[in-house]
Structure 1
Amino acid sequence: MDEKTAKYYENHAQDLLKRYNSAESPLASLVPVLFEKGQRVLDVGCGSGRDVSLLLEMGYDAYGIEPSDSLRELSVKSNPKLDGHIFKGSLPYLHDELTGEYDHIILSAVLMHIPDNSLFESAYSLRSMLKKG
């Protein structure tokens, strides 16, 4: 993510949290059809944690990565069940605590923030975290 965009997220975290949480998650209708309960899911660029929270409520082992310190901290403060489920990180290098294999990785409005010269490395990083098969 470029510096200008990162600053925007930091400086507008409170407004973004409200905006993201006021919108219904598109995952609500898709996840039960596509994912099996209990599967491990990673949300890269999780923003307010809205989708991580939904996934946890639906019985998934869900985690999120968010590069914005302010947005991440406000998310956990406003929704304490996200504590221990949202970590600092961004593509192409994700947080070390999230090593392991995931059944699914979701990205919503993330790839446009990745510089072209980091897209391959980002895809490789994501692939390395998915379960084989």
Structure 2
Amino acid sequence: MDPKTIEAYDTHASVFAARYRSGDRVPVERLKLAFGHRAHILDIGVGSGVDMARFLEAGYDVRGLEPSQVLMETALEHFPRLQGRLSQGAIPLQEDELLQRWQSRFDGIFCSAVLMHIAPDRQQLALEEMYRMLKPEGRLLLTVSSNRSGLDEQGRDEYQRYYAELSEEQVLELSQNAGFVQQQTWHDADKWHRVGLVWASYLFEKPKRKLSAG
């Protein structure tokens, strides 16, 4: 994940966390539809902690990965039940100890508003790592934004967070190259009514056996 973006989340953690707690980024009904009875879930990019809390309330055994130390601390302040369930790290982990420990461990991965913070030349690796962390027939619910206004020439907003523009074609190509099979796609308006901003949620599944190219 982009280092300046992590720094921005550290610096403005209270602002972002309060915003994210104010509305559901992904409807809980969609989470249940995506993961069903798949019990062990990894939330990549914990943020405010609200999504992890919702997973716990729904009966899932959830773990979280978050690159911002300050956001982690803020999440624990508001959701004490997350104690012992959070790990600090930024995907792609690149052979970190966590990646080794999490090989084929999870039934599902929830990755919301993270992939667009990763440089294009590292996005493929990030998806390949998520594939490795899933069990066969495990599912990935991936959410990204597009048409974000107000970015500078380097793709950064006023907080210096980096945003890569990811078209549906790019997301599907990256996921297919990693070995995933597409299940479903949703498009949603922005919860905070930012003009033009659109959110796309993609549901992928890891097949029992990796499909050969071509």
Structure-1-length-normalised TM-score? 0.90
Query: Which residue identity lines up with residue 86 of structure 1 in the other structure?
Result: L
1:114 — aligned with what?
A: 118
Can you list the C-alpha shifts for 1:81-117, whole angstroms capped at 9, x where unaligned?
Answer: 0111121011110662861411111111111111122
| RMSD (Å), alpha carbons | 1.8
SS across alignment from 2:135: coil
In the alignment, structure 1 residue 34 sits paired with structure 2 residue 38:
no
Q: Map 1:66-81 onto structure 2 (within 5 A).
A: 66-81=66-81
Using the alignment, how far apart are the partners of 2:102 and 2:55 within structure 1? 19
> Which stretches in structure 1 are left out of the alignment for 5+ residues?
none
Using the alignment, how far apart are the partners of 1:62 and 1:26 within structure 2? 16
2:46 — aligned with what?
A: 46
**Contact 1:17 1:74 survives alignment (8 Å):** yes
1:17 — aligned with what?
A: 17
Query: Which residue identity lines up with residue 105 of structure 1 in the other structure?
Result: I
| Identical residues among aligned pairs (%) | 35
Q: Map 1:56-67 onto structure 2 (within 5 A).
A: 56-67=56-67
**Contact 1:66 1:90 survives alignment (8 Å):** yes
Greater Cα radius of gyration, structure 1 or 2: 2
The range that moved more, 10-19 or 88-97, is 88-97
**Contact 1:37 1:58 survives alignment (8 Å):** no
**Contact 1:45 1:64 survives alignment (8 Å):** yes
2:189 — aligned with what?
A: none
Using the alignment, how far apart are the partners of 1:95 and 1:73 within structure 2? 22
Higher helix share: 1
Hey, which bits of structure 1, 4+ residues long, moved more than 3 A?
A: none
Using the alignment, how far apart are the partners of 2:122 and 2:26 within structure 1? 27
**Which structure has more RCO (C-alpha within 8 Å, separation ≥ 6)?**
1
> Which stretches in structure 2 are left out of the alignment for 5+ residues?
137-207, 209-214
SS across alignment from 1:103: strand
